[in-house]
Amino acid sequence: MPARNILVINCGSSSIKFALVNEDHEHSAISGLAERLGSPDAQVHWQQDGNKQSLMLPNADHRAALAQVLPLAQTTAGGQLHGIGHRVVHGGEYFTAASKLDHSTIAAIRATAPLAPLHNPANLLGIEAAIKLFPNLIQVAVFDTAFHQTLPEHAYRYALPESLYRDHGVRRYGFHGTSHCFVSQRAAEMTGLPVNASSWLVAHLGNGCSTCAIVNGQSRDTSMGLTPLEGVVMGTRSGDVDPNLHGHLARTLGWDLQQIEDMLNKNSGLLGLSGLSNDMRSLEQAREQGHAGATLAIEVFCYRLAKSLAAMSCALPQLDGLIFTGGIGENSALIRSKTVAHLTLLNLALDELANASTVRGVAGPIHAHGHPRVMVVPTNEERQIALDTLALLDA
């Protein structure tokens, strides 16, 4: 049987990211972004074989943009497109794995929208448009939360009145599941350990950041919670704060809920602390030039990340390795070094030469000889979504 092709789609409220993944190839044959959908400036950009192209699509909506993208993918796949994998942010407790899309799964994704009011409705726009355009192609939803449905109850429950969980689904769900799953499986492959007999800590550090404890291929704890705001410091999200902050800001400054949520999600994290940028590259450059805010943002980021990893270690029977991934985790030797320096009680130490040279897509070990394993493993969420889609095609 020739290698199969899956189109992976990730819809936001005004954008669609896409990539064509062939099961035999690590890198996608074509990938791109349709953005500013619904506005006069709507356009789609894509790259193929190193060539970049763009097309203006004034006022195109999700369906009009997909009507351009799908034939592009079909042609690139030589007419052999086998399925479409859709990234969906929140699967609640209903979805413990990827699921074929039909009327009942679409209804369940819609029913989960109160838990992800910005994301799930946007994901559904893409799903419904793609099904209308390609009614005969198998389409699959792959959830950011599903990998974490193996968390034990003592890890997923908040210490809140039981009725909030029972009647309203208030619990910890976790996100970045496709990435945590992909890199832990890849780390097991790279080290020759069986996935079902290995224990990992993962730090996924991109614009959003989260940590995860993975035992025998299953998520046992993770830093994000009911929403992606909980946990470590991120680009513009605060991560953990005292929950009484809401009341304090409302009473002392008269802020309403929208203002508080916007501040915590959009103006905090690295951006809020530094007063400069949410982008780690800019902060590292500013720190070198003595910028106090950038220096502090990096210190807080690394200390809180190390604290979260130490907390995650409670879920592990042994440590087979700490994995760094995501744009920061894959590229920033400084952040890896500063974070590991706070983890000497776990006996972690880096080989600084290996750390400095393991960047820009390179995978490999970076720990000092005689210390527990620390690795850099580039993530590939599109590939994991395609693999989950293929598994359902085979089922």
Q: Which positions lie near ligand AMP, rule CB under 6 A?
A: 206-207, 235, 279-281, 284, 326-328, 331-332
Q: Which is nearer to ligand AMP, 126 or 269 (CB)?
A: 269
Coil, strand or helix at 232: coil
Among residues 61, 102, 144, 167, which one is catalytic? Answer: 144
Torsion of CA 309, 115, 145, 20, to 10 degrees: -120
d(CA 159, CA 3) in angstroms, rounded, equals 49
For residue 165, the minimal CB distance to ligand AMP (Å) is 31
How far from chain centre, in Å, is Cα 54? 26
Centre a 10 Å sphere on the Cβ of residue 237 and count the other Cβ atoms it contains: 26
For residue 327, the minimal CB distance to ligand AMP (Å) is 2
For residue 235, the minimal CB distance to ligand AMP (Å) is 6
Coil, strand or helix at 199: strand
Instruction: Output the CA–CA distances (angstroms, integers) from residue 72 to 202, 272, 349, 392, in the order listed.
Output: 35, 40, 47, 24
d(CA 354, CA 366) in angstroms, rounded, equals 5
The CB-nearest residue to ligand AMP is 327
Please state at what angle helix 257-266 crosses helix 245-253, rounded to 10 degrees. Answer: 120
Torsion of CA 233, 120, 382, 3, to 10 degrees: 160
For residue 322, the minimal CB distance to ligand AMP (Å) is 18
d(CA 256, CA 121) in angstroms, rounded, equals 24
For residue 304, the minimal CB distance to ligand AMP (Å) is 16
Residue 144 a catalytic site member = yes
For residue 207, the minimal CB distance to ligand AMP (Å) is 4
Q: Which is nearer to ligand AMP, 320 or 381 (CB)?
A: 381
> Which residues pair with residue 31 across a beta bridge?
19, 47
d(CA 44, CA 35) in angstroms, rounded, equals 6
Q: Token pair for residue 342? A: 């706070």
Q: List active site positions.
A: 144
